[in-house]
Amino acid sequence: MTDPVFTHTNHSHKLLFIGAAICIAIISNLTFYNYVFEMDWPWAYNIIPFGWIGLGIGYMGTFFHELGHTALAWFYGYPTLPMFDFTHGGGLALSTSGQQIFILIAVWAALIYGFWHFKDYFFIKWGCAALLGLNLAFAFNDGHEFFINFMGPAAQPLIAGFLLFRALFDLAPKGAFERFLNAAIGLAMFGAVFIDGAGLLRSADHRLAYFQQKGAHGFGDFDKIGYHLPFLGFNGIVYIWLLLNVICFIVPFVLYMRHKTSRY
């Protein structure tokens, strides 16, 4: 039988609200684009309420960014708290102490339990095994710093992809408006990553502002990673981030189309 969620009419309506969400995402990012590329568009700050929405998207990006750092820090044994930085702007993931072996043991135990508990689920089972291997390989050397630093920027496209996936598969429990918000916010976050990445690669002023963030030099995640991985450098890391953004954008649509066609 055809799943009623994936009828032709429902699919058409879904494309319409995805189109509307794309329009909202574009408009809400005009303020950020104006800032990054110094376009001198005073009207971009005055499109109410979209200027406010753009500001909200920026804060959401910061929130998820710091949660990404925090999750990976705990994964490698560092008790860490995410927070907004009201002194310099942006956010911080503040480690309260050095690496704690009991946290690592808890992570290992959870992944081993997950491997056993989900033994009948191929991807979850081997995903737990892969995460355990990744932890053991880098927990006791400087390699884990790369993952902790990169997971901040990476969290933005990953969360955006998750929101888009929820919208396409009707997983928002409160109905059409929540699905629309998932799509609009996810697409806006994708757009913000593309703008930020393009600015870091093409705008000298934006690159300098990034380099001098927090009142320091080279404090940004990409600067730190590029310093330790000179064969990639700053630009190489940004390109990887943008590639991840493209993948996270495409995958929900691919999964949706495959699932939709399998229902007919």
Determine the Cα–Cα distance for residues 144 and 112; give it in Å rounded to an integer. Answer: 20
CA atoms within 13 A on the CB side of 161: 17
Residues 6+ apart with CB under 8 A from 24: 50, 53, 184, 187, 188
Under DSSP, is residue 207 helix (H, G, I), strand (E, B) or coil? helix
Largest CA-CA distance found in the chain, in angstroms, rounded? 61
Determine the Cα–Cα distance for residues 19 and 154; give it in Å rounded to an integer. Answer: 25
Determine the Cα–Cα distance for residues 73 and 66; give it in Å rounded to an integer. Answer: 10
Mean pLDDT lowest among 38-52, 120-134, 151-165: 38-52
Q: What is the dihedral of CA 62, 67, 73, 79, to 10 degrees?
A: 110
pLDDT digits (tens, 9 = 90+) for 46-92: 666 667 777 888 888 999 999 999 999 999 999 999 988 877 778 88
The residues pairing with 94 across neighbouring beta strands, listed in sequence order, are 81
Q: What pLDDT score was predicted for residue 250?
A: 96
pLDDT digits (tens, 9 = 90+) for 163-208: 999 988 888 766 778 888 899 999 999 999 999 999 999 999 999 9
State mean pLDDT over 137-160: 94
Determine the Cα–Cα distance for residues 240 and 248; give it in Å rounded to an integer. Answer: 12
Determine the Cα–Cα distance for residues 45 and 32; give it in Å rounded to an integer. Answer: 9
